[in-house]
């Protein structure tokens, strides 16, 4: 009950009004959100492909992850700032949207996996099978996040 009241309040807040006000506001924030996703998922995918043994073989996964880490953080920050702004524009409907719920679940799992298992695998010497499993699961989780996000408009 509290959640619904909160989402109703959020949908009428100053942030929501700013997002729903000028017709360009939501598309600009949405574009920034997509850029954040592309930056974070792109850099993570490069490391995942290295873990799978499919490229970037001149560097270890550790070196590659360290080089890309600032870009990954920038993308995640942009994504986590713009996402709640877009959510506020229609919080009640987003909250009840199954695709949104799927995306949020996958995002939580992907972030949790990235900052625990994925980081551990990239920072230490693990077996090739463990590296491939981590890279493959990471790609699967992030693909699910994107697919869930894409389907929000269609449900």
pLDDT digits (tens, 9 = 90+) for 19-36: 998 999 999 999 999 999
Question: Residue 80's pLDDT is what?
Answer: 93
Full domain range(s) for residue 20: 2-154
pLDDT digits (tens, 9 = 90+) for 120-146: 999 888 899 999 999 999 999 999 999
Q: What CA–CA distance (Å, rounded) separates 89 from 126?
A: 44
Residue 118: DSSP 8-state: I
113-125 average pLDDT score: 93
Question: Residue 124's pLDDT is what?
Answer: 86
Residue 153: DSSP 8-state: G
Number of domains observed in the structure of the chain: 1
Question: Residue 1's pLDDT is what?
Answer: 64
Residue 21: DSSP 8-state: S
> What pLDDT band is residue 57 in, cutting at 50, 70 and 90?
confident
């Amino acid at each position: 009950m509290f959640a619904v009241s909160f989402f109703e309040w959020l949908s009428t807040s100053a942030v929501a009004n700013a997002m729903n006000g000028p017709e360009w506001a939501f598309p600009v924030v949405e574009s920034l959100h997509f850029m954040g996703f592309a930056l974070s998922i792109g850099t993570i995918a490069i490391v995942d492909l290295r873990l799978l043994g499919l490229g970037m073989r001149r560097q270890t996964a550790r070196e590659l992850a360290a080089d890309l880490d600032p870009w990954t953080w920038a993308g995640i920050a942009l994504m986590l700032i713009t996402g709640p702004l877009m959510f506020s524009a229609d919080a009640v409907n987003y909250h009840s949207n199954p695709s949104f719920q799927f995306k949020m679940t996958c995002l939580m799992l992907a972030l949790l996996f990235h900052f625990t298992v994925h980081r551990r695998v990239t920072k230490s010497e693990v077996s090739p099978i463990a590296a491939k499993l981590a890279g493959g699961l990471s790609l699967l989780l992030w693909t699910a996040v994107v697919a869930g996000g894409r389907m929000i408009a269609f449900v």
